Structure 1
Amino acid sequence: FGFYLSFAADNDSGEFTVNGYDSQRTSGPMTYEPLNSNGGYWQFSVSQGGFSAGSSTGQFGAITSAIADTGTSLIQLPTPMAQSIWTAINATPIPSQAGSASIDCNAQSPDVVFTFSNTPYAIPASAYILPNGDGTCLCGFTGGSDPTSQDPSPVAIFGDVFLRVWYSHYDVKGLRVGKFFFGL
């Protein structure tokens, strides 16, 4: 099955395609990540991955897996990684909301590029600067999966902020998740 998630400002609805994907919603080559768990999640390895944002870079480190999740609005990362990204894009932590940050709605921030299996996936500022409706904006990267906690295998969760930029194809038979860039 395939998912296309739209931006509300586009006045376009999302799309769920059964038994394949909608090639009209995609461009460029398909890249697949094999699933590494049968625990009910679309979980794939990121052990060889990391991120870059402007001149800042980082590795996933203790995070060895990520989940592609249409039920999660933001991109949830280990708190130290989220904080590094916030610094690189000039986001400000929100003291009253642990793991969250605000960002200037008009910020000219760099793309945040995640790499899995040597394939880069760019998330432009237009996708991660999220208007709150009150003149302020929320940053689409949140901290919360903490590799120093009691969780023996924390994961990163790539939710709608990621999936609005990257069309996702969930290959049930092949046990893999694929990503196409479909632009903004």
Structure 2
Amino acid sequence: LLSGSQGCQAIADTGTSLINGYTGFVKAIHKTIGAKYSSMVGAYVVPCSKVSALPSLTFTVSGRPLTLLGSHYTFKYISPKKVTYCVSSLTGDDSAQDEFENIIWILGDVFLRRWYSVYDLGTSAVGFAKSISYNT
């Protein structure tokens, strides 16, 4: 979807539900996928009929592409009035930077459902493997 966000940092966080990134990037992604803000939902939504046609979203970590399909980074929400919305799992935060103004992405449960993570504290490394539920 977007290119040029090289040098960003990423945190795999099981305590975060969604994917959080710098507001400017997230807005650009929402514009690219045709998401519109819904005050009813309080988030960006896309027509559910278009989810299967959404572009993939790839995070490159240590040179390895980790891709999410449109169905991975959206979820269905049914309102109290029984209206179904497909909600973007991407949220923007202007403070998603470190002290050197490097962009930080927080890869929460939405990402970690599709990419298993292994943490090696001895080498301060994180490894990723595609989940068996990747295609669901």
TM-score, length-scaled by structure 2: 0.78
Between 107-116 and 86-95, the greater mean CA deviation after superposition: 86-95
4+ aligned runs moved over 6 Å, structure 1: none
What's the counterpart of residue 141 of structure 1? 90
Q: Tell me, in whole angstroms, the C-alpha distance in 2 between the residues paired with 1:164 and 1:157.
A: 14
Q: Closer, same or farther in 2 for the Cα pair 1:166/1:82, shift >3 Å?
A: same
Distance 2:5 2:65 in 1: 14
Aligned length: 125
Residues 90-101 of structure 1 aligned to structure 2 (within 5 Å): 90-94=34-38, 100-101=43-44
* Compared CA separation, residues 58 and 96, structure 1 to 2 (3 A): farther
1:58 has 2:3 as partner = yes
Q: What's the counterpart of residue 77 of structure 2?
A: 132
CA distance in 2, matches of 1:80, 1:146: 11
2:47 is aligned, of 86, 90, 104, to 104
Aligned in 2, Cα 1:97/1:131: closer, same or farther, shift over 3 Å? closer
Structure showing greater relative contact order (alpha-carbon pairs closer than 8 Å, 6 or more residues apart): 2
Q: How does 1:18-33 map to 2 (within 5 A)?
A: none
In the alignment, the residues of structure 1 paired with residue 9 and residue 126 of structure 2 have an alpha-carbon distance, to the nearest angstrom, of 13
Specify whether residues 116 and 59 from structure 1 end up closer, same or farther in structure 2 by C-alpha distance, changes over 3 A only: farther
How far the C-alpha of 1:97 sits from its partner, in A, is 7.9
Please, which of 113, 123, 128 is the counterpart of residue 174 of structure 1? 123
Give the whole-Å Cα distance in 2 for the aligned partners of 1:64 and 1:172: 21
Percent identity among equivalent residues? Answer: 32
The 1:80–1:94 alpha-carbon spacing in structure 2 relative to 1, beyond 3 Å, is farther
Task: Call closer, same or farther: CA 1:126–1:112 in 2, change over 3 Å.
Answer: same
CA RMSD of aligned residues (A): 2.4
Secondary structure, in 3 states, of the residue corresponding to 2:71?
Answer: helix
CA displacement 1:7-36 (0-9 Å, x = unmatched): xxxxxxxxxxxxxxxxxxxxxxxxxxxxxx
Q: 1:175 to 1:167 in 2, by over 3 A?
A: same
Q: Distance in 1 between matches of 2:18 and 2:94?
A: 13
**What is the Cα deviation at residue 84 of structure 1?**
1.2
Q: Go from structure 1 to structure 2 and tell me whether the alpha carbon gap of 1:97 and 1:105 turns closer, same or farther (over 3 Å shift).
A: closer
Partner secondary structure for residue 28 of structure 2: helix
Task: Give the alignment of 1:35-54 within 5 angstroms.
Answer: 53=1
